[in-house]
Amino acid sequence: PMEIRHLLAQWIESQDWEAASNNEAMATILLQNLLIQVDEQLDRVSQEKNLLLIHNLKRTRKLLQGKYHGNPMHIAVIISNCLREERRILAAASMPVQVMSHISLIYSMLICPRAFRTKSCPLIMNCTREICMTDQDVKYLEDLQEEFDFRYKTIQSLEQSDKNSALIKQEMLALQAMLNTLDYKRKEVLSKIGRVIHEIDMLMSNMLTEELLDWKRRQQIACIGGPLHGGLDQLQNCFTLLAESLFQVRRQLEKLDELLTRLTYDGDPIPVQRPQLLEKVNFLLYNLFRNSFVVERQPCMPTHPQRPMVLKTLIQFTVKLRLLIKLPELNYQIRVKATIDNNRRFVLCGTHVKAMNMDESANGSLSVEFRHLQPKEMKSSAGSKGNEGPHMVTEELHSISFETQVCLYGLTINLETSSLPVVMISNVSQLPNAWASIIWYNLSTNDPQNLSFFNNPPAATLSQLLEVLSWQFSSYVGRGLNSEQLNMLAEKLMGQQVSYSDYQLSWAKFYSSLTSNSVPLMSVMRFSLARRESCSPA
């Protein structure tokens, strides 16, 4: 509150609220000291008989004691953020207009991926601007209600004879006008909140979801040697801004509920509209958090970095998870558990529960990396053959799942995500065939979790497959295959054809080319590479 910020300015600015936001004992001490400071101010203004200021200080003390006694770190986070924002505003005010415009442009470019620069980025910034304006409306509403409450209680305390005077009747008319204004402002604030919630809903349902799916598809392609994918940092900025906006809307609705407990009347819009708006905000937060939990780097054995998603039993692999919502309150509070499906009775050995923390890299993402996991196949029970199935080992797909729980501001949200399908092998000789399965899967489908894919694998165009094979060469030697070499591979796969451009190749045909007794495809690729090297002027 402004009175507290003004009266205790020097004391507030001299405390280390940022350190207290991560230290409960320190936060508890600061909260107690803050209450003592407020008490001292109360004693002082009581002597001056400033009734309105006394009333506001008492209300603030009661609020601080009741709301933050059980969670002192929360008030430390709020004050730390407020002081940081004050410093930012003061620094911004001292900059030339041209410099500020340049910084704003850079900031917009940084937080918005290329696809967002004309759509999502302006919409997100517009939402945050509208929410900040609504904050001012809620503050005005609170001040207006405080004034109404004070003037109404003043009249109520008068003697009956005084209440019949013309002056008091005029004051009663003024109070009625204030109540009408209160009713209008409450309806206006609720309408603005409803509008911004709808805008965020549309943004999440359309553009943000589409961009996230596009990133996941680009990750699939990059895993099989395609162009490097990016944009996750920009997505994190968008997710974080939306999460902060939704939590800010929740605080506005909480403030309206607090105002409701102190004053209500017939036709009051708050008890009718607030529950529905709060339910919608919570629903959007649940969806936003669930979509924000992603596998940043797919499972991969360090010994074979060019062939992710092929895992050998009893060999360690790494995998990295990220939460795209970066909030300081979540640091070290989120513990992620890794599990594996039981199609062939695999288990994960090693450290399979770890806490997320702020990455030390430039983006400072909230992430966790598992480095010491290894799959182990359980022995089958006596008399059974647990490894038998409809497919060969290298066609069996498995999923590594990750689950956690977020508890924040009274919300408990269960999160779960899974890796792209992986192939388990027990011998390194199975690696080429397993890698062929990974290539075929990620080339042919956008579905991140179709473990029965090889029950009926779709065909792929030869042009698609040749492009992937060229990527494979590029990932090893830094350059792809030329048209002559690609035609040689096409001829080996399909025989001599007039045109290979639209030819459909089945999984069975591709797989047989890897394992046939004739000259296998990989040998042709190695020969092609050797031939290219011998013809190179360098």
Extract the tokens encoding 112: 């918005």
- The burial of 231, by beta-carbon neighbours within 10 Å (0-12 exposed, 13-18 middle, 19 or more buried), is given as middle
3 state SS of 366: strand
DSSP string, 144-169: HHHHHHHHHHHHHTS-HHHHTSHHHH
Q: Check the CA dihedral 123-124-129-132 and report its sign.
A: positive
Count other C-beta atoms under 10 Å from residue 518's C-beta: 9
CA dihedral 289, 291, 293, 295 (to 10 degrees): -170
Residue 133 contacts residue 252 (beta carbons within 8 Å): no
CATH superfamily of 301-379+390-427: STAT transcription factor, DNA-binding domain (2.60.40.630)
What distance in Å separates the CA atoms of residue 18 and residue 472, rounded to the nearest whole number?
Answer: 49
What distance in Å separates the CA atoms of residue 271 and residue 23, rounded to the nearest whole number?
Answer: 37
Residue 448 contacts residue 418 (beta carbons within 8 Å): yes
Strands 293-300 and 317-323: antiparallel
What distance in Å separates the CA atoms of residue 538 and residue 484, rounded to the nearest whole number?
Answer: 19
Q: Spell out the domain ranges in the chain.
A: 1-94, 114-292, 301-379+390-427, 459-538
Fill in the DSSP letter of residue 428: G
What distance in Å separates the CA atoms of residue 137 and residue 495, rounded to the nearest whole number?
Answer: 74
Query: pLDDT tens, position by position, for the chain (538 residues)?
Result: 888 888 899 899 989 888 888 788 888 889 989 999 888 888 888 877 778 888 888 888 888 888 888 888 888 888 887 887 787 677 655 544 434 433 333 344 344 444 444 356 677 878 888 888 888 889 889 888 888 888 888 777 766 666 667 777 788 888 888 899 999 999 999 999 999 999 999 999 988 889 899 999 999 999 998 887 778 888 888 898 899 999 999 999 999 999 999 899 999 999 999 999 999 999 999 999 999 999 999 999 999 988 999 999 999 999 999 999 988 888 888 999 999 986 667 889 999 999 999 887 656 789 999 999 999 988 765 444 444 455 688 899 999 999 999 999 889 999 999 999 999 999 999 998 999 999 999 999 988 889 999 999 999 888 888 888 888 888 777 788 888 888 888 887 777 765 666 788 889 888 877 665 444 555 545 554 455 445 444 4
Residue 457 contacts residue 343 (beta carbons within 8 Å): no
DSSP string, 67-127: HHTT-HHHHHHHHHHHHHHHHHHHHHHTS-HHHHHHHHHHHHHHHS-GGGTTTHHHHHHHH
199 Cβ neighbours under 8 A, 6+ residues apart? 123, 126, 127, 130
Fold of 114-292: Glutathione S-transferase Yfyf (Class Pi); Chain A, domain 2 (1.20.1050)
Domains 1-94 and 114-292 share a fold: no
Residue type at 519 in one-letter notation: V
Q: Does domain 459-538 have CATH number 1.10.1760.20?
A: no
Q: Check the CA dihedral 317-222-120-194 and report its sign.
A: negative
Question: Which helix (DSSP H) or strand (DSSP E) does residue 299 occupy?
Answer: strand 293-300
Fill in the DSSP letter of residue 383: T
Residue 513 contacts residue 492 (beta carbons within 8 Å): yes
The pLDDT tens digits of the residues spanning 146-175 come to 888 888 887 777 666 666 677 777 888 888
DSSP string, 6-25: HHTHHHHHTS-HHHHTT-HH
Residue 237 contacts residue 110 (beta carbons within 8 Å): yes
Fold of 1-94: Transcription Factor, Stat-4 (1.10.532)
The pLDDT tens digits of the residues spanning 310-364 come to 999 999 999 999 999 988 888 888 999 999 986 667 889 999 999 999 887 656 7
CA distances from 64 to 70, 72, 76, 473 (A): 10, 9, 12, 64
3 state SS of 297: strand
Q: What are phi and psi of 230, to 5 degrees?
A: -145, -165
What distance in Å separates the CA atoms of residue 129 and residue 352, rounded to the nearest whole number?
Answer: 42
